[in-house]
Amino acid sequence: MLKREIGHSGIFVNAIGLGCMGLSEFYGPAVETRDGVALLHAAIDAGVNHFDTAQLYGMGANERLLGEAFHDRRDKVVIATKFGPVRDRQTGAFLDVDGSEANMRAAIEESLQFLKTDHVDLYYLHRVDLKTPIEETVGAMAKLVDEGKVRALGLSEASADTLRRANKVHPIAALQSEYSIFSRDIEDGSLKAVDEIGASLVAYSPLGRGLLTGSYTPDHTPQKGDFRSAATQPRFETEAFRANLELVDEVKAVAAAHNAKPAQIALAWVLGRGDNVLTIPGTTKLANLESNLAGADIGLTTSERDRLNALADRVKGARYPESRSSNINA
């Protein structure tokens, strides 16, 4: 398995980790704890050692699941979690992004408790708080490193400028942003800053939230609890969705040439961007997880990359709706 360091943190992980969000929220009903734990254990056996969660996912349920799975095998896993967004605990409504030290302190203590561990390997600010200077937030996060509660720091969906400013306060080991054949908007901005400061990019939604796997049909309707619908995911609005699925035919054609799955090609494309790129595709199914891992072994030719590079500009619909975009590339 291809190994990569997270920034200059000294933490090495397999280039393909597991994005755990979908196990608890947003992509349909949460999995049963027993099934989730079984999947996480099987993921370790398959070679995954980088697991990504957040306080946000299931409002603690996802961290609790990881705690259940990993408390007795902590040395086998690198755990990344995140703080910042604040939700109404009753309704789940998103209220704010809070990068204050007070919120961070409350969040890390809860995360450590839920994760059943005394340290988090990689701690992210999940979204940039536009009211709190990034220097202040990262200064507070750096104290957690000094205290041994956190090993390395990251930002998510931060702009190039925010990254550079943050990195002056404490080394930023990783930027986590959406990055895929369909989402290349960071290439002209924050990805350049990632390279410049010696950080890693942790690419989330590398499969375009499932679009790039080739497993959707034009008449697909999301199940209950799946937020991939017109209101929250413009690319899944019926007309955009159908147009985007047509683009996937190009990915399928490249996959056929490699006798591979489209998802594997999507992951090979992301990892081929540079040695400092890691990715965390999400899945609730062991068969998909095992298949995805093989994507790391595929080398794309220049003409294949060119062919795939042409697709992002043709994708219909923004990554997030207007109402949710102020903290994106912020």
CB of 238 to ligand ATR, least distance (A): 18
Q: What is the DSSP string of 153-214?
A: EEEES--HHHHHHHHHHS-EEEEEEE-BTTB-GGGGTHHHHHHHHT-EEEEESTTGGGGGGT
CA distance 308 to 21: 27
Nearer to ligand ATR, 89 or 252 (CB): 252
**Residue least distant from ligand ATR (Cβ):** 282
For residue 38, what is the enclosing H or E element?
Answer: helix 33-46
Catalytic residue among 27, 57, 179, 216: 57
Nearer to ligand ATR, 167 or 180 (CB): 180
Nearer to ligand ATR, 169 or 267 (CB): 267
Q: Which residues bind ligand ATR (CB under 6 A)?
A: 19, 21-22, 27, 204-210, 213, 215, 261, 263, 281-285, 288, 291-292
57 a catalytic residue: yes
CB of 231 to ligand ATR, least distance (A): 17
Considering only CA atoms, which of 206, 199, 303, 198 is closest in space to residue 257?
A: 303
CB of 75 to ligand ATR, least distance (A): 26
Residue 40, judged by CB atoms within 10 A of its CB (0-12, 13-18, 19+), counts as buried
For residue 123, what is the enclosing H or E element?
Answer: strand 120-125
Nearer to ligand ATR, 84 or 206 (CB): 206
Q: In angstroms, how far is CA 129 from the centroid of its own chain?
A: 19
CB of 260 to ligand ATR, least distance (A): 11
Residues taking part in catalysis: 57
